Structure 1
Amino acid sequence: MATAFEKFDSTRTAFINPWDSVKPIHDFPKICISTFSNEMIEKFASVNGAEMIAQLYAATGPTPVYKICYGGENIAFYLSKVGGPACVAGFEEIVAMGAQKFVLFGCCGILDDRAVGSNLIVPTSAVRDEGTSYHYAPPSPELAADPISTTILTSCLDKLDCPYVKGKIWTTDAIYRETPDRIAERKKDGCIGVEMEYASMLAAAQFRNIPFIQFLYGADNLDCTSWDPRDLELYGMSNAEKYMALALECAIAL
């Protein structure tokens, strides 16, 4: 029996679709930003002018969707769930509400500390070591980033004077199965970071024809003899304003 990892089903309409349970919202912002830090979302949800406009529903509870005006544009933002399946499900429902462009950012583990350092990361491709992407794109070892979106991202980074490095990202479903041999293998493949959503989101965005940008910041370090958590538990709050400013600029440029 062929699995999704071997045989891609390109049928556009599934048995259950996001628009079956989520209806379009009048005047929903065409641009949406998301990240994985609840503290960061709450910080920007508290600024003057931000308002809650919708909710995503799941057994774990509702997730508020907010709206903010930036550069004369209304932009939605919300908290993404960690892991490819949950992250993509939220993205699908946001698109069903009316979003047409999407910016995502979050942290990753560093696989090449010498290359990354304190720079932000511009993904050039995703090494597919997860399952969700195989339901949205034909089987392949990697998925390439959209060159137009990458150019927009690097232009915004230059505009804000944010140093960055480009490189492959390893997306895995199993954070506790990043073994030394697998890490060495991925580093040999050219991966500079590891996380749990990029390949899934890249495939889903391409499948739905949604312009998509994702940038990453380094958190914990795996390029050492033993795991170094660094500022992983700060959830990006030490540079929250910088990350959100970049995301907003990317959203407007996208």
Structure 2
Amino acid sequence: MLLEEFENGPAVIEPSNLGVSHRMDEVCPTLIYSFNGEIVQRVSQMPGVKQIGFVNSINGHNPVYLYEKDGLKVAVMMAVVGAAMAVGQLEELKAFGFENFIVLGSCGVLDKSIGADKIILPASALRDEGTSYHYAPASDEIAYEEALLLTMEKALDKHGIEHVRAKAWTTDAFYRETADKVKRRLAVGASVVDMEASAIMAWAQFRSAKVYQFFYTADYVDHTTNQWDKRQEERTADVLTFFEIALAIAKEL
């Protein structure tokens, strides 16, 4: 099987081989990597926020911003959707010198009892994507290091932010989330679904990277009626609420 060919040695192309298409004028310890583009757009327009660099790909220009407030300094960047490119960007950002990565974005729920806009810490994930198999030996599941999870939980508890741990189902193909697959994922303990978590977990282990990832819940994949519930009326939180949660974590790192 191709996905069982994990190798722990150096690659032909390493993230340290960054070319002129990338630039970082300033680096701080922590970077907030947001899959929600509205969060990054609104942060970029805040007073005092400045662009400090960029990462380019064939898709275009990806700016990195610096946010400072009350002595806290963090970089902010929009994440690309999909495991392969998200991990590729994290590789490059770590090579630039960023040390802590706070990753946030929405997730779907498989368990109807989980409401909208709830904070989920993906402690482990089912590896239904391809990227992770190049960073860790083949297995059905992977997890974040317990120390990273405890650090994030301590920060959230300190700031009174409710949260729960969960197992995610990370899949490359959101249009192939069939009812039978959802039932099987629920049966092995997954309660939310996303597209990147298992790959980021594998990357974090391989590179000894400090990643603090959280989801906020969005749509519901209803396997009982074979329908997709977008939950638009239930999702009332301002997206900057989730940026504030990322800042709360950053303050404690």
TM-score, reference length from structure 1: 0.91
1:1-254 to 2 correspondences below 5 Å: 2-3=1-2, 5-11=3-9, 13-22=10-19, 25=24, 27-115=26-114, 118-223=117-222, 224-225=224-225, 226-231=227-232, 238-254=237-253
Q: Secondary structure at the match of 1:124?
A: strand
Offset from partner CA, 1:60-115 (integer Å, 9 cap, x none): 11010011124523211100110100111111111111111111010011011214
- The 1:117/1:76 distance shift into structure 2, 3 A limit, reads closer
- The 1:47/1:117 distance shift into structure 2, 3 A limit, reads closer
Residue type of the alignment partner of 1:202: M
- The 1:24/1:100 distance shift into structure 2, 3 A limit, reads farther
Where do 5+ consecutive residues of structure 1 fail to align?
none
Offset from partner CA, 1:148-178 (integer Å, 9 cap, x none): 1211222222233222222100000111111
Q: Distance in 1 between matches of 2:117 and 2:25?
A: 41
Q: What is the percent sequence identity of the aligned residues?
A: 35
Residue type of the alignment partner of 1:228: D
Where do 5+ consecutive residues of structure 2 fail to align?
none
Identify the structure with the greater helix proportion: 1
The answer as to whether partners of 2:23 and 2:54 remain within 8 angstroms in 1 is no
- The 1:24/1:146 distance shift into structure 2, 3 A limit, reads farther
Deviation at 1:124, TM superposition (A): 1.8
Residue type of the alignment partner of 2:189: G
Q: Distance in 1 between matches of 2:229 and 2:116?
A: 14
54-63 or 21-30, larger mean C-alpha shift: 21-30
The answer as to whether partners of 2:24 and 2:54 remain within 8 angstroms in 1 is no
CA RMSD for the aligned pairs?
2.1
Q: Secondary structure at the match of 2:102?
A: strand
Deviation at 1:180, TM superposition (A): 0.7
Q: Secondary structure at the match of 2:91?
A: helix
Q: Distance in 2 between matches of 1:212 and 1:130?
A: 19
Identify the structure with the greater strand proportion: 2
Q: Distance in 1 between matches of 2:221 and 2:202?
A: 26
Q: Secondary structure at the match of 1:63?
A: strand
